[in-house]
Structure 1
């Protein structure tokens, strides 16, 4: 994967976090998302997801200089994958869709989205970790 592609990946992940939250919550007016998972997806939690998205965008062009921060991004995504796995094993997506289609779509995609970006950030972390110029620093 080229550095240009990686930069675009960071930007896409940031846009998914920021605009994704705004779209699925209908500008923070959709109560179904935070009511469905008040621990992880509270309005504060959703705002923090957007902040993480801004962090992804902020390092898009300098990712190769912040390998340990990229490692933190892997852990952040892992935490959401675990939270989603727990949630999906104890809840019904159909119940969420019955309340609100956008909330249903949100809960249908967020776990897969975080899993895919966890893999992406892992790839970037190990690519940076093994590159010769990184080892020289």
Structure 2
């Protein structure tokens, strides 16, 4: 399956924007319910780091083909967050989060799905860039 370069660029932008939605769900880091239910990964510092990762994705959207190893790091990062989310889901009751705050409940319901989707995306892009090491890609 060939992914067009424009689609990949858009994918990086969308992945970054998805990370930036943490600002909405956390009400610009004032939603204490998110941090209460996972004080390590989803602390305000952790949420800020999610924003920074999102900005990093957006920053390479047009030059991704020159940064294949960074894309591999992005894939690993998404895998880790996806794995952490599965562990969280298996060890917590999402309805408890919804009872305290609907925005936090939505956040915990979807953040891992988003991470798994973009793990696959980054992995596919890495494989594509790895197969064409000296190519800047087509203008498709």
TM over 0.5: yes
- 1:99-121 deviations in whole A, cap 9, x for unaligned? 00000000000010000000000
User: Which of 6, 9, 14 does residue 8 from structure 2 map onto?
Assistant: 6
The answer for unaligned runs of 5 or more in structure 1 is none
The answer for unaligned runs of 5 or more in structure 2 is 136-140
- RCO greater where, 1 or 2, for CA within 8 Å and sep 6 or more? 2
- 1:39-70 deviations in whole A, cap 9, x for unaligned? 10000000000000000001000000000000
Query: Aligned-residue CA RMSD in angstroms?
Result: 0.8
Residue 22 of structure 1 pairs with residue 23 of structure 2 = yes
- Give the count of matched residue pairs: 133
Residue 92 of structure 1 pairs with residue 86 of structure 2 = no
Residue 123 of structure 1 pairs with residue 124 of structure 2 = yes
Q: Report the Cα distance in structure 1 between the residues aligned to 2:132 and 2:31, rounded to whole angstroms.
A: 44
1:133 match: secondary structure: coil
Please give the TM-score of this superposition, normalised by the length of structure 1: 0.95
Q: Report the Cα distance in structure 1 between the residues aligned to 2:133 and 2:70, rounded to whole angstroms.
A: 19
Please give the TM-score of this superposition, normalised by the length of structure 2: 0.93
Greater helix share, structure number: 1
Could you tell me how far 1:132 is from its partner in structure 2? 5.8
- 1:59-113 deviations in whole A, cap 9, x for unaligned? 0000000000000000000110111011110000000000000000000000100
Q: Report the Cα distance in structure 1 between the residues aligned to 2:79 and 2:129, rounded to whole angstroms.
A: 19
